[in-house]
Each structure stands twice: as structure tokens, then as C-alpha cells.
Structure 1
Amino acid sequence: MAKVNFTAERVASFEAAPGKTQTIYWDAKAPGLGLRVTPAGARSYIYESRLFGKTVRITIGDSRAWTLGKARTEAARLKTVIDDGKDPREQAAEQRAAHEARKVEARRKDVTLTEAWAAYIEARRSKWSDLHHRDHVTLASAGGQPKKRGKGLTEPGPLAALMPLKLSDLSAERMGQWLADEAAQRPARARLAFNLLRIFAAWCESRAEYQRLIDPQAVATRLSKDALPKQAAKTDSIQREQLAAWFGAVHQLSNPVMEAYLIGLLLTGARREELAELRWDDVDFRWRSLHLKDKVEIETGRVIPLTPYFASVLLELKRINDTPPNVRQMRSLEAKGETWRPSDWVFASKTSSGGRMAAPNSALHRVCVIAGIAPVTLHGLRRSFSSLAEWTEIPSGIKAQIMGHKPSAIAERHYNVRPLDLLRTWHDKLEAWILKEARIDFNSEQNQQGPQAVIQRPANIAKK
């Protein structure tokens, strides 16, 4: 088609040739500038030239958005680029990529702690225990929800004030002020929250979408050292001379499940959640062993001895668990469309949403009050196991293996493989010593009759 001097009027009057999907008109004034017209009436400026022996055609834009003068200027620019041996299409692609990268970076910098924290919990959930997961949720909770126990609403977690902030806004100054505010109200919770936040920041650096957003100085340990009071080592534990009073108080609890759980913590040295998550499938009465979850051996857990007295306590608990409800209770279940079956949990709870015991702290506090001893925490019972073991001179490696402590020496990690029977020898010895100091008359030989044996509770520890 012959070239025509473009004018605004001619550009508006050009029409597509009949029977063609598009018609291109060429400008006589600006080399390579053309106007593409479709049968529907769409008009777009284009530029066409040759580069390295191949035709290069580029769309400039709609004629309604581009004036003729601007289109000719753009055509001249494209001609210069091609004359330099460059492909404008590649430059355009690079510009679009750079533009998209800037948009992605802008969105990345707008990510809030709330969004990243939720992604972090989702990514790490399978690696955490229920308690560790619950800590991450409650510490970041906005509060204002009805309490599950007691009246009123829950309070915001320590991290709630930081959640709306962008990750890029977590500066050292902002974190220092937050720590100072929280230290005045709840220093222990603030310390836990800050430690979890530091681990979260390290995780962010391993993810491309969150890298280099959090200022490293914002999670520096010096901030917590400056703002929080020095953490004293906890020493709460049950002393040898307090065992009789403590056991006497435990046996006064009206809940046999709670009683068995607290005794189990003291006699096994297990962590609170390790024992709380125990199922009946994890209890082997025949070979006297317990299979516990473990924070070190996450995949396999650990197997520890089931000592004679604790076995008798669990057998009684299993008898209770396997006993069907009375006729009235059974009818009540049927009216609700429910069926009864024994619980899979060793320390089952009818009131807990998870079906197992969830909050034993208050019961332990009552026990300490009744026994007339200083308050002991659940972890303090684990500490008591370790401390009391010193009286029987249990080898430190055996004690560590029962408690689930990570081996610290080369020999422990690679050479000392202790069978369960060896652990049982020392564990039984420790339990017998504890029962003696607690003035509990228990004949362990009864427990050698196997799981079918009915082991009676000694008369001096019968429920009051």
C-alpha cells in the first residue's frame, strides 16, 4: 500500500479493506510508522523495521490515546534503538519485568507481622508440640474472647501490639519500647514472646518473600537484657522430707486421673505434654514400658520403663476407663445420639475439648497447699525427679535417657546404647526409694503377675 502523509483527519477516516482482518496504512513522513485498522474500527499505531534480516513489528498504542505527533516521536525513538542493533521488544520485556519486580517488592515490604506470623505457624505446625503451637497462638492473640475457664474476656497477648506493624517497621527502637512496656506488666511472658520472635525472624531470613525485612538489631539479645529483669534459675522441687506430705495430699484429690498424672510426672521425670499425650496404645503392661513423644527425638519418641507402682496406678486408671457408665448415664448418651466407648487417652477428660487433660496446674497448687509445702510447678516435678535421683546414685547418662535430655558427650551420642532393661533396673530402684521416703507400703512383686493381675491400692494411700 502506498505511503500517505498522516494527518489527524486521515487517521480518523482510514477503514479496513473489505474481506481483510486488518489493514495497515503507512506514514510517508515518519519511516516505519503505520496505522493498523480492523473491521471493527479499532485503530492502533505500529512501528515496523528490520533487525538482523528479520522483520520487527511493535505496537505503539491506540490512536485515541496517542496523538500523531507523539506516535511519530515514538517511531523515531524505536528507529534509533534498532539502528543501534537492539531489539525494542526485549527492552520492553525487561521494563515490564522490572515494573513487576517493583510491584512485588512493594507488596513484600507491606507484609505485616500478622500475615507472616500466620504463614510461619502454618509452615512449622507439624514440627511443634501442641503446647508450643498454643504459645505462638496465645502470645499473638488480640484477646477479647470469652474465657474457657472463669468469667470475663481474655487479655491480649504480649505480641498483640506488634501484630498490625509491617515487618519493615520492626526497628530496634520500636522493639525496645515494646519490651519496656511489657516488662512492667508481665516480664516472663515478654521474655518468652521475644525469644519466639527471634526464632521467627531467623525463619523469615530463610524465606525469599520475607528476607531482609526485619532489622537484625530489632531482635538482638541485648534488647531483652536491657529491658527485662535478669531471669533467675528456677529451683522449685519436692525435697526428700516432703515426699510423704506430698503423696498424702495427692491421694486426697477427688479426680483419679489428675492424681495419676501428677504421680506420673514425679515418677517418670517426663515433660508435662509428653505425659498428657500418652495413649493406652503407648502403654505396655507386659513388658513394662511407656512410649512417650520427645522434643529431641521428634520422629521416633522415646521408650522408658514403666515402674511397678506407677503401673499399678495406670492399671487402676484403665479399669475405670474401661468400665461402662451406669444405665442412667447410658440412656442420657443415647438420647443425645452418642455411643460410649473407652477413651484412647490415658489421662482422659470429659470436659476438655481435646478429650484429654489440659490444665492440671490448679490441682497441683491445691496439693502443695494441703501438703504445706512451697508451690511447685509441673516442670518442678520433673526437676524433682532429677534431684531425687541423686539420692540413689543413678548414673547421669541413664537419668538423662529416661528424662529425654539430649546427649552432651561423644560417648553418650555414639557409643552408649542402653537397653530398656538396664534403664528399668535403675528406674525401679529410684521408685522404690521414693515410695519408702513417702511411707507408702507397696509390694512390687504383685506387679510381676502381668497385666491381668488386679493390683490393690495399699491401705495407707486409700482415698479419703
Structure 2
Amino acid sequence: MGSTKPGNQKVKITKSTVDAFPIPESGQAFLRDTFLKGFGLRATASGSKAFIIEKRVNGKVKRKTLGRFGELTVEQARKMALQYLGKVAQGIDPQAESRQRRLHSTTLKQAYKQFLKARKNLKPRTLYDYERLMEVAFEDWAQKPLVEISKSMVAEKHRALGDKRGPAYANLSMRFLRSVLNFAMAHYDSENGHSILLENPVCVLTRTRAWYRLERRRTVLKSHQLPAWFQAVDTLRGPEKSYFSRTVGDYLIFLLFTGLRRQEAAKILWENVDFKDRSVLIQDPKNSIPLTLPLSGFLRDLLHSRFEERINEYVFPGKEGEGYLIEPKRQIAHVIKEFKADFVLHDLRRTFITVAESLNISPYTIKRLANHKLRDDVTAGYIISDIERLRKPMEEISQFLLDSSGPFKQNPTYSPSQPGPKPASRMQFFEQP
């Protein structure tokens, strides 16, 4: 039977010799063919027997598993081994070739998963948006190999999404795809060190100027609209209203007087409100740069009133007192009806910034209050705006808004020192506004 060294026998491999080859008690044992050099069988302590091929390629001995005995016959395995050795004789590395095939078959979904692993600090909302885009916009492309996504396919998909879901959604989807493919270009390299993608096919939208032109929303609350808006919001804030209704009213006022984004304000914790210092810390804003804002006298009193009737750790708790406030569509619709004009929450941020500009507050201070990044501005890098420097402009903006509020300022519910009754039970959260 040839060499009888344990774990390293040499015979002509046939079905009978494979059947007779014992399973090792531990580790693995090899049965090597005397007829075709490099062809063999490997048995492991787990009980499996698999055909292998071994060959020196580029100075290194490489071993490849051809398949399990039982799934392959000896004749089938020997034929595969011959094909493997034939490629090696031509200077081809079959394992590298196999890796290349796997690499070039990488799908959009697989690349997306790797993209998420690399982007460790994505905000929950961003992650949610990405997941929805994969599930909706690119559901039919999830199993498509990256190398098959062409520029013409991108252009057609962009048009189709624009027709079905609107220009903004189409642009958003393609920006997402561009990010994933840019990642793939850097992440997936072939054996020669070149990316499997020669270029990002989404570039066709730029080169052909096919991106939809979207007018940036510029709506604000104009000065002559402010009295009516305040009165409309105040219909949510009377002492007789439910706790949740009054919370929404205070939340809308707070957005206007701080210029914060809706999520930034909604997630404020009481532990980040400093009444002694008259400030509030925004821990996780959109640009990931923590912001400490000074509180005007009005805002301090507003929050103090809310503190007296707090029910959980959030300044603006959600319905039923759980978590933080999620965009309250029904209450906003009520305000819009009373206001007799449409508005969105981000209009309040734009109004805050517009008021600041009208008061000749410096651009650097406005950017600091709005927590905008000061990009490509060397001078801005030398200007440090601490909280005390921001306090005066914050008071000026707050006073302007109050002076523009009309009858609201004289309304008893304006005074934040007169809160309504603290809810005796969570059932009061379901009361009408």
C-alpha cells in the first residue's frame, strides 16, 4: 500500500482505498495519489473525507479542496485535479482566479453590509434612511454584482425613481448609491491591486447634468405673520389643555427661540439643562459637534416651568410619557389650521437665523448659534465664541421675537410661570389639544 507512515499514506487512489482509509483520532491524515502527483484525500477527526490538490504556485505550496468524498466520485475529483494542474502549467493561479471570480461577483447588498461595518458612527436616523433606500429604491439591485451596474442603468434608475417617487427622492437614492460604490472602489481590489470598479457609474449623472435641480426651501415666518403664529401655538398651551398638548406648544416655541433642529430639541435631557448657568447642552447635534447654548430669560423661565411638572428624563417627553417627543403631526396640523397658513418645523430654524441677521449679529456668531461648521474660513479658526459671548445676541433675538408676538405677549398663557396641572395619570396624554 506504499508508505504506511501514519497520516501520510501513498497509494493509487480508488474508491476502495478511500473507503478503507481510516478516520484519525485527532487532527487530520492524508492519502496521496501515486498516479497523479498532487492529488490526494484528507480525512479529519470530525469524520469527513475530502479530495484535495496540492501544487507549488509562485514558489508557495498551495492546497485546494475539490469536494467531499460522496459528493464527488474519485473519477470526478481526479478530472478536476487535472484541470487545476493544467492551469498551473499555463502559469495561472487557479485559487487566485477563484478569488477573482468571487470578488467580481460581489453584490450591492454585500458591499452595503461592508460599508456599514466601516461607517461605525452612523446616527440611528441615517442608518434607518440607508436601510429604507436599500429595501425600497434598490430592492431589485440587491443581488446584482457591482461590476454589472452600468452608467446607463444608473441613468434609467434615476429617471424611474424621479417619475415614481419624486426628484428629491431620486437624487437622495443616487447619492446613497454613489457613497456605497465609492466605498467599494476603495475596498475591493483585484490581485493586481486595482479596484474591481474602474469608475463610479453614478458619475454619469454629473457628466450629463442629469441631477434634478431642487429649489432649496427658503420659507420663514415673516414678521407680520408672527402674532398669528404665536396665537395659533398658544391654543395648545392653555392650563386646561392636556399635558401632551402643552408640551407640543412649548416645543414649538422652544424651536423658534433657539433655532435648533427638531431632533436636537426633542432629545434634550434634563441633566443637560443648567438653570444656574442658564445654558443647555446639545450632546449629539447633526454635525456631531456638541453645542452649549445660552438660555435667554424667557427660555429659562419656560424650561423652569416644564421642570416643575417633568414626568421623565426628557424636557419634551413623548406621548404617554414614554421617551422623547416625536414629530406631533396632529398638533402641528391644528396649529396650521389656526394659523391659516402652512409651515414646517425647519421654517422655525430659518426664522431664527433670519431674525439674527436682521439684528446685524455677526455671521460668525450666527453660525455658532446655529451650530454650522465654519468650513474653508481661515479667520473663523481663530475666533472662539464662548457661551458668554453668545448670551447677549441670544437675548436680542429672544426679545425681538417677543416684541413681534403681538397679543400673545399679553396673554396669560404666555407666562411660563403658570403651568397647567401636572397629569395625574398617563390617560391625560390622550386628551384632545
Fold similarity call, TM over 0.5: yes
Residues 388/23 of structure 1: CA separation in 2 closer, same or farther (3 Å cut): closer
The answer to whether residue 388 in structure 2 is matched with residue 455 in structure 1 is no
For residues 16 and 411 of structure 1, the distance between their equivalents in structure 2, rounded to whole angstroms, comes to: 81
Q: 1:19-57 deviations in whole A, cap 9, x for unaligned? A: x7699999xxxxxxxxxx99x67985559xxxxxxxxxx
Matching residue of 2:175: 195
Counterpart in 2 of 1:178? 157
- State the match for 1:313 in structure 2: 302
Distance 1:309 1:215, change over 3 A: farther
Asked if 2 retains the 8 angstrom alpha-carbon contact of 1:171 and 1:214, the reply is no
Q: Is the 8 A contact 2:151 2:201 kept in 1?
A: yes
State the Cα distance separating 1:223 from its structure 2 match: 5.2
Could you say which residue in structure 1 is the equivalent of 2:52?
Answer: none
CA contact (8 A) 2:317 2:325 kept: yes
Partner residue in 1 for 2:315: 346
What is the CA-CA distance between 1:401 and the residue it aligns to? Answer: 0.1
Q: What is the DSSP-based 3-state SS (H/G/I as helix, E as strand, rest coil) of the residue aligned with 1:291? A: strand
Instruction: Find the counterpart in structure 2 of residue 292 from structure 1.
Output: 282
Mapped contact 2:182–2:200 kept (Cα < 8 A): no
Deviating more after overlay: 311-320 vs 285-294:
311-320
Q: Per-residue CA shift, 1:68-108, capped at 9, x if unaligned?
A: xxxxxxxxxx9xxxxxxxx8893653959933322222222
Q: Quote how far apart the aligned CAs of 1:132 are.
A: 1.8
Q: Residues 30-429 of structure 1: matches in 2 within 5 Å?
A: 44-46=32-34, 59-61=37-39, 90=59, 92-93=61-62, 98-126=93-121, 128-141=122-135, 157-185=136-164, 186-208=166-188, 212-214=195-197, 216-220=199-203, 222=205, 226-253=209-236, 255-293=245-283, 295=285, 298=288, 301-322=290-311, 343-350=312-319, 355-361=323-329, 363-373=331-341, 375-408=342-375, 409-413=377-381, 415-429=382-396
How far apart, CA to CA, are the structure 1 residues paired with 2:117 and 2:9? 56
Report the Cα distance in structure 2 between the residues aligned to 1:46 and 1:97, rounded to whole angstroms.
24
Q: How many residues align?
A: 355
**1:331-357 superposed Cα distances (whole Å, 9 cap, x missing partner):** xxxxxxxxxxxx2222221459x8222
CA contact (8 A) 2:177 2:202 kept: yes
1:355 is paired with a residue whose SS is coil
1:377 deviation in Å?
2.1
1:432 and 1:108 map into 2 onto residues whose CA distance is 62
User: How high is the TM-score relative to the length of structure 1?
Assistant: 0.66
Q: Which runs of 5+ in 1 are unaligned?
A: 1-13, 27-36, 48-57, 64-77, 79-86, 142-156, 323-342, 448-453
1:437 CA drift (Å): 0.3
Aligned-residue CA RMSD (Å): 4.0
Distance 1:22 1:206 in 2: 44
| C-alpha separation in 1, matches of 2:409 and 2:388 | 24
Deviation of 1:319 after TM superposition, in Å, equals 2.3
In structure 1, what is the equivalent of residue 399 of structure 2?
432
SS at 2:141 equivalent: coil
SS at match of 1:278: coil
- The Cα of 1:438 is off from its aligned counterpart by 0.6
C-alpha distance in 2 between matches for 1:293 and 1:412: 22
Contact preservation (8 Å) 1:176, 1:223: no
Query: What secondary structure does 2:327 align onto?
Result: coil
Between the aligned partners of 2:184 and 2:273, the Cα distance in structure 1 is: 40
1:202 CA drift (Å): 2.0
Amino acid at match of 1:280: W
* Aligned-partner residue type, residue 309 of structure 1: F
CA displacement at 1:209 relative to structure 2: 6.3
SS at match of 1:376: coil
2:9 and 2:109 map into 1 onto residues whose CA distance is 55
Q: Name stretches of at least 5 consecutive residues in structure 2 with no aligned partner.
A: 12-16, 23-30, 42-54, 64-87, 421-431
User: What SS class does the counterpart of residue 62 from structure 2 fall into?
Assistant: helix
Shift of 1:434: 0.4
Cα distance in 2, alignment partners of residues 262 and 209 from structure 1: 51
Letter in 1 for 2:296: T
Q: Give the CA deviation at 1:379.
A: 1.9
Q: Would you say the 8 A contact 1:194–1:224 is kept in 2?
A: no
Using the TM superposition, name which of 129-138 and 168-177 deviates more: 129-138
Larger radius of gyration: 1
Q: 1:359 to 1:60 in 2, by over 3 A?
A: same
Letter in 1 for 2:409: D
SS at match of 2:293: strand
Q: Which amino acid aligns with 2:405?
A: A
Structure-2-length-normalised TM-score: 0.70
Give the counterpart letter for 2:173 in structure 1: A
Give the AA of the match of 1:93: K
